[in-house]
Amino acid sequence: MLNVDVIGNKKRKRCGRVFRFKNFGEPGYPVMFTGPFRENVNALLEYANLESNLGMGMPMWSFQLEVHHHPPLHIFLFVIEEPIEASLNRHCKHCQYVGWGHHFICNKKYHFVLPSKEALATCSSCEGCCDAIATMNNNNNNNNNNGKSKLIELQGHMMHGVFHSNGFGHLLCVNGLETGSNLAGNQIMDFWNRLCIGLQARLVHSFLKYINVDSVLNFLYVSIVVKRLQLLT
């Protein structure tokens, strides 16, 4: 079972540090990002909690983020490392869709997820979902048991973005206040902006079909992020 507190305003007892949501990803918070993308991801994960019970083959880390102090409100950021061996398809369908299908296949993806309360409740109540989602060691040839986390398969997250280890990425969904989220759409896009720039992602494409609030503002934010990333590369 995924060991998280699904009540957003309580701290996990085992968590050693809570980070401010509004500053997370800024230079020096929690770490200075001075290298290429892969090194920056590894540096960031040094400050995370390792979720040791997710399942074999897909490491997952978590950060507890404080949205505001009074009244207390905390959310979780999960980072899930998906090796190519655990993927249903070696070729990324999102890359193929946006014309990046000619890129070399990367050996890892990193999913950055701000889960909805419903997703956390689902993973916390389902043993098969988060303890041993699939047993890769039992049958490595069975594509239905590829160790893929149900957390990254669920829809309706506050945010779900994925980066390939080469620094190219996709923003898959954003859900704001209208869907019961604890965050407004512009807060989520600010957060994604900081992650992309801080980690020095090379180029990020967005799939905004799940955005339900602040659509115009969100499209503007994504355009700014992409332009800034292009200038950095």
pLDDT per residue as tens digits for the range 157-206: 999 999 999 999 899 989 988 888 889 989 999 999 999 999 999 888 87
* Structure confidence at residue 207 (pLDDT): 64
pTM above 0.95, yes or no: no
Listed as ranges, residues in the chain with pLDDT below 70 are 1-16, 52-57, 88, 96-97, 101-102, 123-149, 207-233
Helix spans in the chain (H)? 37-45, 93-98, 117-125, 127-130, 150-153, 185-199, 215-232
> Which helix or strand (DSSP H or E) is residue 205 part of?
strand 203-206
* Structure confidence at residue 124 (pLDDT): 60
* Structure confidence at residue 18 (pLDDT): 95
pLDDT per residue as tens digits for the range 69-78: 888 899 999 9
* Structure confidence at residue 148 (pLDDT): 42
